[in-house]
Chain A
Amino acid sequence: MDFIMNFPFFSIMICMLAALSTFMLGRKAAAWVAKGALFITLILSIVLTAWLHASGESFVYMMGHFPAPWGNEIRAGELEGVMAIFTSVIALLSIVSGRFSIRTGIDDTKQNLYYLITCLMEASLLALIYTNDIFTGYVFIEINTIAGCGLIMIKNTGRAVAAAVRYMVVSLVGSGLFLIGTTLLYSVTGHLLMQNINASVACLAADGSYKVTLTVITALMTVGLSIKSGLFPFHLWIPDAYAISVMPSSAMLSGMVSKGYIFLLIKLIYRVIGFDVFESTGVFDLIFIAGIAAMIMGSVAAIRSGYLRRMTAYSSVSQIGYIFMGIGIANNAGVVAAIFHIITHGLTKSLLFMTAESFTAGKEDIEVGDLKGLGHKHPVSAAAFTAAALSIVGFPLFAGFIAKMLLANASFTEGWRMYVAIGAIAVSTILNVVYFFRCIINLYGFGGFDGAKDDSDTETSITVQSEESSSAYHRNGVYVSAQSDCDAAPTRCEKSVHGICAIILAVINLYIGVAPKLLTAILTKGLNVFN
């Protein structure tokens, strides 16, 4: 056994140990420990993925002295490696670039807890990605849920707590459904280890026994995971959770947390239920239709909301729709496209939230109309924002274009799904253009273009109300808390670090867009050895 096979275990444990040690540290030391742990995780994941790509295999790793059906085990292949790199990149860049946001948005005594939650979140996501046992998956889903709740409510304003409660309730419903599915699956198969369940389910499906039960199990687990990742009919917790929390939280929640569940769903399809059995239950159609609905409705909601971060949050709804549509196409190419889009969207959306921070300038949110001319004030952020927006829209040269192209390509062999998928991609792209170009034009405009505002807005400007009281309510119930009177402006160092992070993300995005071959090759190869 090679030493490199220990790396998945090392990366989980390093994040856990970092989480534990930040508990006792001050905020500055905690920040360094968290960043260091995430950086080591990133390096380990890159080395692991390169090694796996070279050898083209996957391996299981025994957690303890007992082999698989008795003990726990984790599995690492190329897909897992890529997902691990992706989550650690986003977590690392989010907390590195979010120093200003953390400093001003979170109470001094609680800042070390923020880094703790981040490390715990990363550890649980890694465990979710690497798990080879469905119950281990459930345990780490729990950590993920609780940590996500902490990420939202650490801001400690009333609205953040309300958003966290909403997130908690919705998310726990999802966990509950997943747990019911797990127990039912255990009752009919007698196993918790993925490949053993897979073998038993294949036997049951061949016998034709437990047909209803298998369908119910599949539906429950899929619905549970899609509630947690915010698929369309269950997306109502997303806008508040993403738009109200501090910047690194929104970047992480939208970028990687909801994606972990989708990856678990893919694992469920391939390694637990089995692709053919999953297809025979008809849940793919459900996912496909919900994904299409999300693509359209999310974009419409984004156009309707006139606030930058809220709009970006609604855009997440529509992008998650793309991912689920890719899975719902129900072939390998569709799933590869979906995973590709998971990565693209994670990188892009965290970049959008990151850059939105420099426009909001310490406030909670900003109206799209008020972006006017800010592009000249924050050139780096504006350029990165434009790149991210172009990527989401699907402009060639950017990663989003490749993702959309892969999705469309995957649907070609699938009959009626092709028409629906391509039509939906077209409509959704146009809608994306409407709301993102409105931002870009406002950013670089000097005041002529004023599409986002109508008459009712101009009479209440943010500054007037926020001087009178510490808070102000606006149309759509969006709350713009007053700028705190001290520490309002980011320091030079924070600004440049923020800029560098944004540039790194934009360059990764551009690189994936220009040279997608490597990533698609890894994903295709990884999916082939997945089952």
Chain B
Amino acid sequence: MEKINFNEKKKLYILFRITGAILVIMLAASLIMCMLDLPGLFSPEHPGENVVAERYIESGIEETGAVNFVAGMILDYRAFDTFGESNVLFAATICVMVLLLVQNPDSKKSSSKSYYDELKDEKEIEPRLVKNDVILKTIAKFAVPFILMFGVYVILNGHLSPGGGFSGGAIVGSGFILASVAFGFDKMERFLNKKSAGIITFVSLMIYCLAKSYSFFTGANHLESGIPLGTPGDILSSGLILILNICVGLVVACTMYSFFSLMRRGKI
């Protein structure tokens, strides 16, 4: 090993911190200067108040069938962006799985030992989770059904009121997490294990992908999509948006729960 001169390193370290501070201050100063220059956010002169926003607000309901403008915007007008966003989530799930999924102990690759090998014996951490937390268990027993129901409500009413797949899915996922903390992973595994979570994620993303592909394809080729928009305000309206919201909600809920589970014990 090379001999390291610590004094020199220390000097470099100080220099590094000073330069870093100067750079950050410069960046902040220039950004503040820009901010002072910008037009006010809600003023009528704001450049964002243009034809784009106008059409979203004026003809959004009749074109998308969604009373909630935001849902119509993200899931119909700019659906490609949202498709990308949901794939960001998918990619993040995959990367967390890559990092934290405990390797099969019978695997032949003995040379690349995982850091999380010590977690593979889940019996060691499980008792710490489910001791005699009477308060937690009692409250979770009452709270979890309501949390899940509220999450489902937010998802299903995504096109009618503020909310939608992302937020509703997060609520459902936190309900799952609370349930797994209170009652243990064993009980959660009965209906949400690696296989079922995988299938749910896969099927919803597949439906999302195919539905959106269909809509992009028909739109671009100027074909009629043939999807009824329904009466705005009804629960069964707004074409694909409801289905997409359900898909996104399922994916987000599974993602939230599997992040927690992967970080807690290295498997779903």
Contact = CB atoms under 8 A, between A and B. Distances in A.
How many A residues touch the partner, as a band?
35 or more
A123 B80 CA distance: 13
A371 B113 CA distance: 28
Contacts of A166: none
Given A20-B202, A109-B107, 13 more contacts: A16-B209, A21-B206, A23-B94, A24-B198, A70-B77, A150-B94, A156-B98, A156-B114, A190-B46, A191-B52, A212-B37, A216-B33, A487-B108
Interface in A164-215: 180, 184, 186-191, 200, 210, 212-213
* Most A Cβ at <10 Å: residue of B47, B48, B91, B198: B91
A63 B80 contact: yes
A482 B55 CA distance: 63
Contacts of A155: 112
Nearest to B73: A70
Dominant secondary structure of chain B at its interface with chain A: helix
A62 B220 contact: yes
B218 interface: yes
Interface in A95-141: 104-105, 107-110, 113, 116-117, 120, 123-124, 127, 133, 135-136, 139-140
Interface in B103-141: 103-104, 107-115
A140 B88 CA distance: 8
A24 B202 contact: yes
B30 A146 contact: no
B220 A66 contact: no
Interface string B45-74: 011111110011000000100000000000
A1 B221 CA distance: 7
Instruction: Give chain B's interface residue range (CB within 8 Å of chain A).
Output: 35 or more
Contact of A146 (B51, B92, B101, B198): B92
A439 B1 CA distance: 24
Interface of B: 1-2, 30-31, 33-34, 37-39, 46-52, 55-56, 63, 76-81, 84-85, 87-88, 90-92, 94-95, 97-99, 101, 103-104, 107-115, 198-199, 201-202, 205-206, 209-210, 213, 215-222, 225
A481 B113 CA distance: 11
A130 B258 CA distance: 33
Contacts of A379: none
Given A20-B205, A146-B91, A187 B48 contact: yes
Nearest to A160: B112
16 contacts: A20-B90, A63-B220, A69-B52, A70-B77, A74-B80, A110-B101, A120-B91, A135-B81, A146-B88, A153-B95, A158-B115, A184-B34, A190-B46, A216-B33, A475-B2, A481-B111
Contacts of B91: 117, 120, 143, 146-147, 150
Contacts of B76: 64-66
Contact of B219 (A13, A65, A484): A65
